[in-house]
Structure formats: structure tokens, C-alpha cells
Structure 1
């Protein structure tokens, strides 16, 4: 691949502009939204590449939606702090200006294109309804001579390349993605400053004032302190020498990732992947490199090695390699196949967040049992405040409210109990999405919508033995959790964490420090 070029399959043309009457080609503008990074960004690479081919300048624009889909201080603070770093590095290293706009993107971006006389708008890809509707309206409002390109910089295999239809589950999309990985799981070209420099006056952004305002408006859900925003912090979580996932914690991933008492076994990358502060493709490349750097050992070879190595008392070394290989494979399955399956669902299913989006069998069984008697019925307010008779569920809700993230295994249990405790599947789905989007740092994401739809509506799952309330939807209960992990230990861990958070908040308020509890 020629330096600076992007595979054509990664690009969609949303609008073909006409040739300008005077023959002059205007600048290129990259409207950044989902992929908020400088490094490993196919959309930015494409924008610079197109600008260099036309010998015109390029700029990056970002539009801050007012509380996008319910985003609060927790989400907007993390995002804006990352963008502040990006703005500085982009202008220093690439001499590309960064414009931050406030208001409705359907108005601000077309206005900016007219102001600078742009001929090409490049944007990254999102399957979410609000963003897609915004792009459609934007295509109608930009000038006739403006061309609009959409680049999937979020998925390893572009969503429209991986599959042309709604996939039933991981088993149906896995083979399709794996066939395309050799073509798309490649390293990124080096991004250099554009040939032609931007000549319009650059916007000076008062980041501190904007951040202070969103923190004030969204103070109901304060910031979190366990993850620092930005590309550098994301790479530290992935590859850091002290506690990086691939460098220090990977080997326990496959065995411990479903244990809520071992959160350190998880990658910790979800906030960075959600806000696009790190590329999933970079994570996959680094994981693959770790696997290649270790001796290849198949399951058959492992058995033979074990028989011999038992004699020499070196079983531990051999088994460590096996765990490493298995961990990498498990991580790549979650990072590539499962993430892209979620994007596939939201892209091809317009009702990705409602009962209408469920398969016929699931919708039928849920409606057949919608009037079944529930042992408990809770309001949204009671659930939000963790006021239920189930201490395990309460702990998972409090973990999300105060920590900003819930363990993946607990999120399944959490959503299924909401189905059990509300008046029907529609209400259960609405409440689960509301709570997840409001408190989880990676809310408002295809993974979150699919997680709720899997738990409540059986998406990407199969029918199970029929029972009250759930029908044929997969069932989870307290007793099953006790068999898998130390439930009391998890409840105690959350109680200690919440107590410490409340203590720190009180201390910061007494000292007159900001409420966002940043370290």
C-alpha cells in the first residue's frame, strides 16, 4: 500500500459533488466524531492524502453535541480532556488546525465548509441513528460542489466489507471477518504534515472554560479518576511497562475475565475504544505481535511437551505459553469479532434499541410472558438508587454509578434482573439502556445496546428452556452467580469502593476542590 493511501473498501461516498464552475478545488475538512485520535486514524490519513493529491490544505473539525444521548460530566469531561490533548499535538506535529464547534452539527459543519470553500468533507463511521441522520441532513445542506466521504476508521474490517446484511450471531460473522483480516489487519502508514498549509485564521479554543461548563451542566454524574483520557494514556493501558494489558496482564485474560473479583484481568480499554482514543486495529496488531513473539505450541504438542517436561519439572513454562496463546485468541475474539458484530447489528437493524429489533422468536416469547406475575416490581428510580432486595444486583448498579463501569459478567445479570423486575420487556429495555448510557463511561455505544438486547431480547443468542417471565430468553440467577465466583466478596468489594468514593468526595468539597474527583 502506497504511503498515505487508504484501501478503497474502507471508504464510502455519501455524496458526489459537482465540478466547481471556476475549476478551483477547495480545502479538505475532516469532521471527526467517533475516532478521536491522531495516530492510526484511517479517516485522518484519507483526508490528508486527498488534500495532498489536490494540493490543498486540510483542517479537522469537531462538533460538541449538547449532552449527546444523555452524556454527562463523566463522558463529556473524559472526551474533551482527550480532545484538548489532541488539539495541541495535532497543531504542533502536523500543523493541522483543529476547530471545535458548539451547537447542531447539521448547521455548524456546512457553515464552516462554505466559509473555507471546502470541496471535500471526510468523516468517520458510526452506526448510531442520530449520527447517520445528522450525516444525511448534512449532505443535503452542503454546497453542490462538496463531496462527502465516510471512512470506517473504527473497525478492523470495514462494516460494509465484513458483511452486507444483518448477521445472526458471532458464528455467522466470524468466518467472514477472518477471511478479510489478511487484507485489512495491516500496519498504518506514517502520517506526515500536509504539503499545503492552512491559511485561514485558526480558532483559539478556551478548553478550560468549555470543560468547566460541561462539568457544571452534567454534575449529576461526576467524572471518574481510575482512567486518564487521551491517546498516550490509552497506549499506556495497552502496552505500559508497569501495568499494561499486553505486557503484564494478558496471560490471565481468558481464565479470569468472567470473574468480577478480578477486574485487573480485563483490558481496561473500553473507554478508549469507545471514544476512539485508541484504534482497535492497533490493539489487534500489538496482540498479534505478542503471540508471534512466543514459541508456537499446538494443543497436541502441549500434551506431548507436558509428558516430557513433567520429568524435568518445567511444566509451568510450557503451560504459561499455552495460557498466553489462549489469552490472545480470546482477546482478539472480543476485540474484533464481538465488537464488529455489535456494529453490524446497529448498522443493519434500525431498531437496535427496541423490542422491534429482536428476532421474531424472541419477541413472541417475551410478549407471551409479558403479563406473568413478578416476584418484585421496581420503578426506574428504585433501580437507579439500587433499592432492591438483591444485594448482588445492588452492588453491580452501585459499581456502575460510582466507578463508571460494570464488570461484563455482572452487566448480563444486571440487565436480566431488570427484565424480571419490571412490567414488561419494553420497559426493561428502556430502563437498562437509560442507566447504562447515563452512568457507564462507555455508554451510548453499539456494544452497550447489543449487551442490553442480548440480555433482554436474546439478540445473538438462541432459545432456551421456557420459564415464567423470561420465556425462552436465557436465564441467570443469584445461585448461578454463587457457583461462578465469590458473590459476598464482590458485594464487599463494591461497598468498600463506594465508601471510599463518598469519603473522597466529602474531603474534596471541604477543601473547595472540584467535585469531579480527578487524581
Structure 2
């Protein structure tokens, strides 16, 4: 059974035992394995002896909707369709072709359902969408948290630093490490099968087999941003699994020492797949633990928040887990506990005070959004990082921090800098709009950090410079690779 700490009842409507099916509304955990929400939906279908429908819909009016994001999601939907073929479930993919035409689909299906199960997710527009759905539906709506190793409900407050959160994890995480979702929740499911949906539903909201099955399917007719083009990295659970294997086989061995080197690609490159729920942190953890021949008995005593030594794994594995678990789940915790997670006012009081005090300091360079967006600054390294974001939908981990710090330094004030960072990151980054992504942006303004010696513009916020970065790391080939727009 899915742990009760991961279940959240959204409305007070009852279960309808006379309904025709259980409906799983897949919105964040866009995968068919290692999925607590799907596992819970299967359990409910088995208990009531009802068919199961998996509705995975893609609207075209979400913020920053673009060809880049749509293509990545559609790749994942195609993987889900293939994975569920022949399983005791009816997969219903739906893609809006015009704004608003998907309205009413969830409610219409819910009127025939016993209950609706969906994914819990603490950021972007999803919390508002879930709450609005709960008010409209006349059957029970339950949200299932599969976001991290530690259930969101198990953390009673937001934490000011990774150190403080790490101390909490080391005390409270061990009891949850054996509560993993099933790798395939449908493997032994004996469920009644619903062969098709009523014709009146399919006529109004047809299934999206064409976008999923046609390799040359294009998206130019959709009312989404056509200028943010697709990237070479494919979406979906299959690509995510292959990237995980590549990381474990070839990159993990150098992770601790080399992960900040712009010219060494040793990071996992899984953040986009995690953001769209195309791979689970539970699967990643299980595969890493198997490689390390690890079991919970190897956990050390509480380390008072220290980064290394608690897990009982290799130094490279522990360095990666600190990013994957500590930092990632710290961001999810903040978004779950702070509705203002994406606003300037959520910064620590000391950071707001020092930024406001220096808001009118003279800037050596001053740029607007369009200057930053087109990589039109005076700084070759910053421009290279921005071009990587434009072309590939990501920036090297270390350079992303530099990218944000310089936007603060070259914008008219800290609030304008925050707006620019959010706009560029959410528009172009495949892993934008995510709790972990907001953590990175707000870290540039002092979240999870401490006061540093005061200096102009930054105040007591930690500063970074391209010159120091170039002295610490080799960046020559990075600069050459992203030196200019390839179409220029």
C-alpha cells in the first residue's frame, strides 16, 4: 500500500462505489513505473473491482508553453503509451490544439468515476489547478506525493539552510528509505478492462495518438511559443533511464572532484526528467544503492548536518546524493510550506535588508531583459552560458550560479533581477518551473546562504565573477563551443 503520509485528500466529496472506473489524472509523475500515485490508483481499482483509466493531458495555455517543453512532454507520453500497451488499464492521452478546448474533460470523466487520483506537486500552476479541480468534482479527489524520498508531509517547517535540513534528514529519513514504490505497479494487477471510452467523450476530446505515433509530427499549428525551439535531448522515461545508466557507468566515478568543471560533463543531466516526472528519485536511489551494494544497515550515526560520511556509500555517491536528496528536497520542502516561494518577499530578512540598502548602488553595466535574453552583454563567459540555455535548455551547474549572480549585478535593482532570472529560466530551461530550479535562482539572492563581507551592489550577498571562475576552472573550450550563435 502507498504510505498514508503520501496521501492528501483534496475535497470532502465521497467515493462513488457505483462509478464505472477509477480515474488516475497524471499531471506531474508522468511515468508508469516507480509511481506512488499509479500504485494507489491500482490498489483502489483492485479493491473496488473497477477498471482503471490513466488520463494524461497536455494543455496549451500553461505559462511559458513552447515547442521545446511540449516536445519533451510528448516524448514522455509516447513512452507511456508503449509501456501501458497490453496492460490492464486504458491509457487516454489528450493534447489541446486550441486554448481552453480541454476544459470540462476532467469533470466529465469524474462523473462516471468512483474517485480521482492525481499527483501532488508543490510548485508552478499545479497546486492551484489541483485545488480548483477539488472544488469542482463531485467525487473524491486524492493527491499522492511521490516527489522525494522523504514525504512532504513528514517535514513540519521550512528550513533556512541545507545544513539545517540535512540534520533533519539524517534523523528522520531512515524510516522512509524502505518505503519504495513498485517498479511496475501493473505487473500483477488483475483488473477489469475498459476497452474504450464513450463516443460522446472521444468526439469532443479525441485521443492524441497522432502526436505520439508520428515521428515527423510537428507543433507549428499550436498556440504556443514557436521561438523556443526543441533541443537534441529527447524526453521520456526511456531516455531518462538511458541517461541514468550512462551516469552510473561512466560519470559517477569522477563526480565529487569534477562536477563543477564546465569542460567536464560528469553530471547526471537528469534534472529535466525529474522535473517532468519521467523518472523517479526512488528509482534513481534504488539503482545507485544496488551499484554500491548498499543497504540501510550501512547508514552511519547522525552527522550533525555534515555532507559526507552518513550514507555509508562511496565519496562520489554521497556527493551526488547531497544534490539529489538534500538540495532537491530542500527546495520541495520550501515550496510546500511557503506559497510565496517565487516572490522576492520570501527571501531571508537579512538578504532583503542588504539588497534593498544597495538597490540604488551604481551598476558598472546595466542591461534589460532583451539584452540578457539574446546573450548581448560585455562578458563572454556569461554570454556563453546564456547561449547554452538558448540552444540546449540547460546551463552547466556551476555556471548557472554565475549566470544568476551577474544578472543581479547588471540589473537596475534586485527585484528586476529576480524577474529576469525567473523569466529566462522558466522560458528556456527544461528543468525550469521546478522547486529545485527556484532554489537555484533564489540562492543567488541569499536564500539558504549566510551574510558575507559587504560590498557594492551585492551588499552582504555572496558575489561571483567570471574572472575568478576562469581562474578556478578551465573554460576555453566551453567559450569556443558557445562563442556565437551557430546561425549567425
Q: Residue 372 of structure 1 corresponds to which residue in structure 2?
A: 361
Q: Residue 458 of structure 2 corresponds to which residue in structure 1?
A: 470
Q: Residue 306 of structure 1 corresponds to which residue in structure 2?
A: none
The structure whose Rg is larger is 1
Deviation at 1:54, TM superposition (A): 1.1
Structure-2 change in CA distance of 1:212 and 1:493 (3 Å): closer
Of 251-260 and 166-175, deviating more is 166-175
Q: Tell me the distance in 2 between the aligned counterparts of 1:84 and 1:485.
A: 40
The 5 Å alignment of 1:306-455 reads 325-455=314-444
Q: Residue 147 of structure 2 corresponds to which residue in structure 1?
A: 154
Deviation at 1:119, TM superposition (A): 2.3
Deviation at 1:25, TM superposition (A): 4.6
The question of whether the paired residues in 1 share the 8 Å contact of 2:88 and 2:191 is answered with: no
2:122 equivalent among 127, 130, 133: 127
2:174 equivalent among 178, 182, 188: 182
1:480 equivalent among 460, 468, 482: 468
Moved beyond 6 Å, runs of 4+: none
Q: Residue 169 of structure 1 corresponds to which residue in structure 2?
A: 161
Q: Tell me the distance in 2 between the aligned counterparts of 1:353 and 1:341.
A: 15
Q: What's the C-alpha RMSD, in Å, of the aligned pairs? A: 2.6
Q: Deviations over 1:496-518 (max 9, x none)?
A: 8x53xx49xxxxxxxxxxxxxxx
The 5 Å alignment of 1:63-212 reads 63-100=57-94, 102=96, 107-114=104-111, 117-143=112-138, 146-161=139-154, 163-186=155-178, 187-189=180-182, 190-192=184-186, 193-198=189-194, 200-201=196-197, 203=202, 205-209=207-211, 212=218
Deviation at 1:209, TM superposition (A): 4.8
Q: Tell me the distance in 2 between the aligned counterparts of 1:462 and 1:230.
A: 38
Classify the secondary structure of the residue corresponding to 1:273. Answer: helix
The question of whether the paired residues in 2 share the 8 Å contact of 1:41 and 1:279 is answered with: yes
Q: Deviations over 1:238-264 (max 9, x none)?
A: 12xxxx11122211011111111112x
Q: Residue 461 of structure 1 corresponds to which residue in structure 2?
A: 449
Q: Tell me the distance in 1 between the aligned counterparts of 2:220 and 2:121.
A: 23
Q: Residue 235 of structure 2 corresponds to which residue in structure 1?
A: 229
Q: Tell me the distance in 2 between the aligned counterparts of 1:329 and 1:384.
A: 36
Q: Deviations over 1:262-318 (max 9, x none)?
A: 12x011111211111111111011112222279x999xxxxxxxxxxxxxxxxxxxx
The 5 Å alignment of 1:196-275 reads 196-198=192-194, 200-201=196-197, 203=202, 205-209=207-211, 212-213=218-219, 217-225=224-232, 227-239=233-245, 244-263=246-265, 265-275=266-276
Q: Given the alignment of the two structures, is residue 14 of structure 1 paired with residue 7 of structure 2, yes or no?
A: no
Structure-2 change in CA distance of 1:130 and 1:155 (3 Å): same
The question of whether the paired residues in 1 share the 8 Å contact of 2:64 and 2:225 is answered with: no
Deviation at 1:329, TM superposition (A): 0.5
Deviation at 1:67, TM superposition (A): 4.4
Deviation at 1:399, TM superposition (A): 0.9
Deviation at 1:129, TM superposition (A): 4.9
Deviation at 1:68, TM superposition (A): 2.1
Structure-2 change in CA distance of 1:292 and 1:209 (3 Å): closer
Q: Residue 302 of structure 2 corresponds to which residue in structure 1?
A: none
The question of whether the paired residues in 2 share the 8 Å contact of 1:55 and 1:196 is answered with: yes
Q: Tell me the distance in 2 between the aligned counterparts of 1:405 and 1:492.
A: 17
The question of whether the paired residues in 2 share the 8 Å contact of 1:29 and 1:120 is answered with: yes
Q: How many residues align?
A: 459
Long gaps (5+) in structure 2: 300-311
Point out the structure with the larger helix share.
Answer: 1
The question of whether the paired residues in 1 share the 8 Å contact of 2:15 and 2:115 is answered with: no
1:58 equivalent among 37, 52, 62: 52
The question of whether the paired residues in 2 share the 8 Å contact of 1:26 and 1:120 is answered with: no
Structure-2 change in CA distance of 1:275 and 1:19 (3 Å): closer
Of 88-97 and 163-172, deviating more is 88-97
Q: Tell me the distance in 1 between the aligned counterparts of 2:325 and 2:208.
A: 37
Long gaps (5+) in structure 1: 299-322, 504-519
Classify the secondary structure of the residue corresponding to 1:30. Answer: strand
TM-score by length of 1: 0.83
Deviation at 1:405, TM superposition (A): 0.9
TM-score by length of 2: 0.88
The question of whether the paired residues in 1 share the 8 Å contact of 2:393 and 2:429 is answered with: yes
The 5 Å alignment of 1:294-309 reads none
The question of whether the paired residues in 2 share the 8 Å contact of 1:124 and 1:153 is answered with: yes
